[in-house]
Chain A
Amino acid sequence: MTEIEYPTTRESSCPFAPAATVREMTRDNPVGKVRIWDGSTPWFITRHADQRALLNDPRLSIDEKRAGYPHMTRARAASAPHHPQLITNTDPPEHTRLRRTVNAPFMVKRVEAQRPRIQEVLDDLIDDMLDGPRPADLVQAIGLPVPTLVITEILGAPYQDHELFQHTSHVLISHESTPEEAAKAGQAIGAYLSELLDRKTAEPGDDVVSEMAARVVAGEMTRPEAITMANAILIAGHETSASMISLGTLALLRNPDQLALLRDNSDDPKFVANAVEELLRYLTIVHSGIRRIADADIELHGTVIRAGDGVIFDLAAANWDDAEFPEADRLDLRRPARRHHAFGYGVHQCLGQSLARVELQVAYGTLYRRIPTLALAVPFEEVPFAMEGVAYGLKSLPVTW
């Protein structure tokens, strides 16, 4: 059998849907294989039930330093041996220990306390957009600035640095930047965070970097770990939330009945919260598969995954698995969607998920209520998607009102 190349390209007829070949595998070939950039053929798990079982199975490891680990890209494979121990490359019990050292600022109640501030940020950005020219690019006006401002505050970067911070991080994550520009921005952010760590060691505040600085002083974390972690939070929390805000808006504009439903229920927090879960499910922006390596032989549907084999979990496939979500290709803001895998599943499930939820609840709950006439300023077919990368998104979203 010839394996499909992975990540696969989506059909342009529906850019929101996982590739048809992937959906076929969910139906007919639940323990299949795909071919990745280095020619290797890791196992490919697409069913919701199988992902739930395996992503919590201690026989699967996220240790990216092991031979046979199915790396995302050549660059990742090259840098993996040099990474310090992080939550993103360790298994329990080490993972549990590390994750608990960085978790406090992302707790539900800490994040809920940020909600009024996030609302303020969003209202200001909407005011600015409405005062500016039409059409506007929603990615630049709302999508990117919301997570930038939120993460800047969570990390504890002082307000006067926020322009620099915003500019540098945009270059870093923008699909339009060259690799050289991105590398330069990466170094600038690294230097900035290192200096921020020093400042927060001397004068701690109520923020993530101060918390990590205290842990460095207490010997619970090394300095490079703290800087790498701050950087990881910045990157992981940025593009993802930005994509969700812009793509979610586009998906709603394509489904006007659902947009109307959301607009009419904007003041019902329960409705908005479920709408966020459904958009997370429907869009599943982390679309290049999360990766693990088998520690021991694992039997699944009569097939044996051998110790040392790579395994890829396609989250979008599980979220479009009709066995779990009937008529999965329909965006249905009323369906129970909370068990989606958009944030992954198992111990590595997204650290920032509560924060992302609040950002998206505020964004979706506010945007269409305040701009009820929001409309695309170009034909749908001309909206430029950014499909490369770990998460997919939009290069721009021209809107008018």
Chain B
Amino acid sequence: MRIEFDEPKCVAAGQCAMVAPGVFDQRDDDGVAIVLDATPGPERFDEVREAAAVCPAAAIRLVEA
């Protein structure tokens, strides 16, 4: 699985960081998401899929192998 993050769309709601904290974080000055691990291991697939699903701005796209 590869995470494609469309930064200009991000409204910094932090849903991703809440659902998948090891994979996403938020930049300190404005809360825009940071992808910590763009190719997470299978043990994280569920939470990453959940993060993509709850992102209100549809800024997270998953390319599943």
Contact = CB atoms under 8 A, between A and B. Distances in A.
A73 interface: no
Nearest to A96: B11
Main secondary structure of the interface of A (DSSP, over half): loop
Contact of A103 (B9, B30, B57): B30
A347 B50 contact: no
Nearest to A87: B11
Interface stretch (A62-70, A174-182, A196-204, A338-346): A338-346
A187 interface: no
Interface string B37-59: 00000000000001001101110
B12 A93 contact: no
A255 interface: no
Nearest to B25: A109
Contacts of B8: 93, 96
B26 A109 contact: yes
A103 B12 contact: yes
Most chain A CB within 10 A, of B8, B54, B56, is at B56
Contact of A56 (B18, B30, B58): B58
A354 B57 CA distance: 16
Interface residues of A, number: 26
B11 A99 contact: yes
A107 B54 contact: no
A347 B54 contact: no
Contact of B32 (A55, A100, A347): A100
Contact of A339 (B9, B12, B18, B54): B54
B30 A100 contact: yes
Interface of A: 55-56, 92-93, 95-96, 99-101, 103-104, 106-109, 338-339, 344-347, 349-351, 353-354
18 contacts: A56-B56, A92-B9, A93-B8, A96-B8, A96-B9, A99-B11, A100-B32, A103-B11, A103-B31, A107-B12, A107-B26, A108-B14, A108-B26, A345-B56, A347-B56, A349-B11, A353-B13, A354-B18
